[in-house]
């Protein structure tokens, strides 16, 4: 499954999304990440030894959310993506996705450079997508 164009646009325009993972011990882990959308999938980077990566290696099921809050609740918008995550450790695909992250977040190269020796890129393939306020 791939994200519909309208959903992908909302997710891509937002600067931060939240990613929830659960390891084998069952403790939820929820963190904000900087992300990109490519070909209907969500991508974000992480250090190789981060909790979210360890959880994904134990249990690839993840949830990603993007939401736009408004005090006028008739304007609330959001997307929740439940899917399967995989880890991209190195190679041409890693470097291509890193370029997309660097293009969206120009501070990345100087402040959080993604090197194949200490970083991974996580790919989230959607299984279920729930939206609100996008009508």
pLDDT tens across 55-80, in order?
A: 999 999 999 999 999 899 999 999 99
pLDDT at 3 over 90: no
- pTM attached to this predicted model: 0.93
Instruction: State residue 14 phi and psi, 5-degree precision.
Output: -70, 145
CATH number of this structure's domain 5-132? 2.30.110.10
**Where do the structural domains in the chain lie, given as residue ranges?**
5-132
Q: Is 103 exposed, middle or buried (0-12, 13-18, 19+ CB in 10 A)?
A: exposed
Query: What DSSP designation does 133 have?
Result: S
Query: What DSSP designation does 74 have?
Result: G
Give the residue among 124, 98, 90 at the shortest CA–CA distance from 45: 98
pLDDT tens across 27-41, in order?
A: 999 999 999 999 999
């Amino acid at each position: 499954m791939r994200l519909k164009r309208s959903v992908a646009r909302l997710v891509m325009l937002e600067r931060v999304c939240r990613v929830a993972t659960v390891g084998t011990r069952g403790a939820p882990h929820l963190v904000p990440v900087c992300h990109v959308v490519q070909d209907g999938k969500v991508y974000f980077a992480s250090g190789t030894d981060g909790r979210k990566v360890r959880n994904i290696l134990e249990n690839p099921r993840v949830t990603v959310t993007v939401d736009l809050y408004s005090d006028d609740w008739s304007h609330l918008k959001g997307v929740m993506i439940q899917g399967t995550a995989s880890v991209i450790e190195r190679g041409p695909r890693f470097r291509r996705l890193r370029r997309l992250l660097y293009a969206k977040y120009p501070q990345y190269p100087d402040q959080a450079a993604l090197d194949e020796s200490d970083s991974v890129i996580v790919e989230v393939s959607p299984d279920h997508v729930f939206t609100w306020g996008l009508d």
